[in-house]
């Protein structure tokens, strides 16, 4: 029996790890395009070459811990965290090139040395990470895929929670935010079933109020305008 992966298996693997959504929106402004061409290659993480066992080596500055943000949008939250915590290394994953360009502009303007970028889907990147490499993962307002037939595309799944557990250090956290009630319930149910994590909330305010130092994104502002309220869920990996 051949050990080579069949075409059907390859297609199945591609479907399991591929990104569902837009890659590019409006045309980039000239400076944004220049940043994508010249700054991004200096900051990008290429999973074709496995990252070092010590991910801190990806940064040109000493970092005490590493955090990952999945789907950073325009990068407001990621950049604010990186600016507030220069001792921490931040890795952002975003397949939408316009969002990557916006983050690059902020990195350039604020001279942020502690940010690296994966311009693509987070799933394959997480698979490439060493065990226990991260102290925190942010999954902020992932696409809710509201239609029932689409829900298999949601970021939060038993397989992804297992992946989170592998790459987080003991005591590490997953921070999840959404303004979709169904997705909040979906996420709680799957984390409870996984058992590698505990939900840290002890009272309603713990999940109705954002984390200290929270940066409100443009997406969140729009949600509030139309009356949608966010929830903020923290799951801590067992030590």
Tell me if residue 182 is catalytic: no
Instruction: Assign 3-state DSSP to the chain and report helix, strand, coil percentages, each to 5.
Output: 40, 20, 40
Bridge partner residues of 235 (DSSP)? 174, 199
Coil vs helix vs strand at 89: strand
Beta strand 65-70 with 134-140: parallel, antiparallel or unpaired?
parallel
**Which tokens sit at 132?**
């226990």
Which one-letter DSSP state was computed for residue 152? G
The answer to whether residues 222 and 82 touch, using CB atoms and an 8 Å cutoff, is no
Nearest to 192 by CA among 131, 235, 134: 235
The answer to whether residues 140 and 77 touch, using CB atoms and an 8 Å cutoff, is yes
Considering the candidates 4, 37, 143, 162, report the single residue annotated as catalytic.
Answer: 143
Residues recognised as catalytic: 143
């Amino acid at each position: 029996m051949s050990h080579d992966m069949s075409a059907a298996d390859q297609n199945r693997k591609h479907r399991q790890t591929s990104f569902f959504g837009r890659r590019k929106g409006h045309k980039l402004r000239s400076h944004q395009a220049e940043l994508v061409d010249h700054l991004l290659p200096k900051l990008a993480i290429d999973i074709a070459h496995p990252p070092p066992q010590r991910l801190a080596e990806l940064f040109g500055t000493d970092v005490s811990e590493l955090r990952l943000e999945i789907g950073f949008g325009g990068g407001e939250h990621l950049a604010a965290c990186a600016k507030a915590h220069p001792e921490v290394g931040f890795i952002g994953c975003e397949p939408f090139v316009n969002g990557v360009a916006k983050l690059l502009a902020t990195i350039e303007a604020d001279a942020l040395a502690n940010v690296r970028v994966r311009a693509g889907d987070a799933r394959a990147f997480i698979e490439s990470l060493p065990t226990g490499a991260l102290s925190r993962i942010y999954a902020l307002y992932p696409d809710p895929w509201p239609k029932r037939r689409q829900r298999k595309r949601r970021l939060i799944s038993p397989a992804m929670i297992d992946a989170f557990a592998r790459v987080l250090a003991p005591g590490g956290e997953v921070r999840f935010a959404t303004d979709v009630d169904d997705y909040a319930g979906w996420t709680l149910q799957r984390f409870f079933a996984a058992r590698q994590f505990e939900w840290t909330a002890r009272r309603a305010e713990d999940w109705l109020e954002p984390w200290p130092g929270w940066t409100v994104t443009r997406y969140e502002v729009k949600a509030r305008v139309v009356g949608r309220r966010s929830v903020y869920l923290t799951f801590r990996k067992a030590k």
